[in-house]
Every structure is written in structure tokens, then in C-alpha cells.
Structure 1
């Protein structure tokens, strides 16, 4: 075990992007198993994320690998926030209505069944009318 520790000294190792690349490779391999055998070239494409993952794990350029992981995490987290926001909106549609401020494009939530109301944007203080 000591030889592995010495070998990995100064190398980047695994991170979230490496895990995502392995999962992507696994998914691509599952998809290629469902396709006919005539498309063997697709199996080779499924191994590309695995090779990139191995390269990243054994890389000595730690700063560059950290920057790649940071960019991946920013994209992943923004996608998660977008998805959760959409799920909350769909869960909330029976009780609330959503308006978009025509001035600043801020999303505003108001309760349903209030009739015609005047909505004031808390961000830009613009007032507009809408039917809830």
C-alpha cells in the first residue's frame, strides 16, 4: 500500500468531475448494449469519458484540474438550482400564480383567486395589473 501512496504523491486524484465522467461512461455503455452490434464504433465513444477520468486522476497539474472541477461544479449547481426552482413552481401552481415584471423581468408570486390585482415589484417598485 505504501508504493501506491508514493506513486500518487503529487498527483491530483479523484473529484466530483471524475465521478461524473465515470457515471457518464457507464450510462453510455448501457446505451450501447441496447443498440445493435453493427454500431461497434459507439462502444469506443463510451470509453472516452473513462480515459479522461484516468488522465485527470493521475495528472500532476493540480491547479488546472481544480479549475476544471470548479467550472463543472458551477454548472452542476446552477442546473440543480434551476431544476429545483421549476419543481417548486409546478408544485405551487394550484395555490399561486407567477408574474414577470415587465420592467426588470423579476419573477413574482401572488396567491390565486384574488381577481384583478395590482402587483408591485419589490425590486424596481414598478406596478402593473394582473389577474390572479
Structure 2
């Protein structure tokens, strides 16, 4: 029996690698490298703990719990990344459009650039005001 078959048999029924494991391992290695240049027992121990948690999760047989942990991680990751996606979207919109607030109800209204002076009607409260686009 060669090494590949023995390892495959050992990993049968174990959880394996997911996005949270990749994040923990990467963060642990980065902190480990930082602790090499700036020796500190706390950073070294933190890196070691992160790597141990990563391997514990990888070899775990409790699939339901590891799956739930990964979903919680992905939820937080998506919330964090959505902030940057929203900022990127807003900056793209500001290149093509002027965004004004209605003086009565403060509703944001998007007007294309380069149309000159126009009368804007608020879609929410139907107030009219004049702005340059």
C-alpha cells in the first residue's frame, strides 16, 4: 500500500479544507513570518494556535459543526467585502451621474452628467427643483 492510498484512507470521513481553514492557515503563516522579523512570544504563540486550529478543523469528523463555522465565516467575509463593493459602485456612479438630494424629503436622485440646467422632479414627494447636471 503506497502513501497516497494510506493518506486517502486516513482522510476518509474527515472534514478537509474549506475557506475558513485557508484563511486561518494564511493568517497563521503571515503572523509567523512577522514574528520571525519582530521576535515576540505572543505573536509566535498566536500563529501557532491559528495553525493548530486549522489542522484540528481539517482532521475533524464533526462535519455539521465545521460547516456551520465556515458559513459564519463566509457571512462575515461577505459583509466586510460588501462595504468595498458598495464604495466601488458609488465611485463608478459618480463618474457618470450627479447625485442630488431632494430639498424637501432628502431622497437621493441620480441625474446624468452633461445635460445643462434641468428641472428635477423628486419621484418620492414630487417636489421640483432646478440643478445643473
* TM-score tier after normalising by the smaller chain length: 0.7 to 0.9
Query: Deviation above 6 Å: which 4+ runs of structure 1?
Result: 100-103
Q: 1:41: Cα distance to partner?
A: 2.4
Matching residue of 1:118: 121
How many residue pairs align between the two structures? 125
Cα distance, 1:83 vs. partner? 1.2
Partner of residue 65, structure 1 = 66
Q: Could you say if the C-alpha distance between residues 82 and 4 of structure 1 is closer, same or farther in structure 2, counting changes exceeding 3 Å?
A: same
- How does the TM-score come out when normalised to structure 2? 0.72
Describe the superposition over 1:76-103 as per-residue Cα deviations: whole angstroms up to 9, x where unpaired. 2232233122112123323323457897
Please name the residue that 1:2 is paired with: 5
Pair 1:129–1:45, CA change in 2 (3 A): farther
- Cα distance change of structure 1 residues 23 and 128 upon mapping to structure 2, 3 Å threshold: farther
In the other structure, the counterpart of 2:24 is 21
3-state SS of paired residue (2:86): helix
Aligned to 2:49: 48
Unaligned runs of 5+ in 1: none
CA RMSD of aligned residues (A): 3.0
What stretches of structure 2 of length at least 5 have no aligned partner? none
Change (3 A) 1:18 1:94: same
Greater displacement, 91-100 / 19-28: 91-100
Residue 33 of structure 1 corresponds to which residue in structure 2?
36
1:77 aligns with 2:68: no
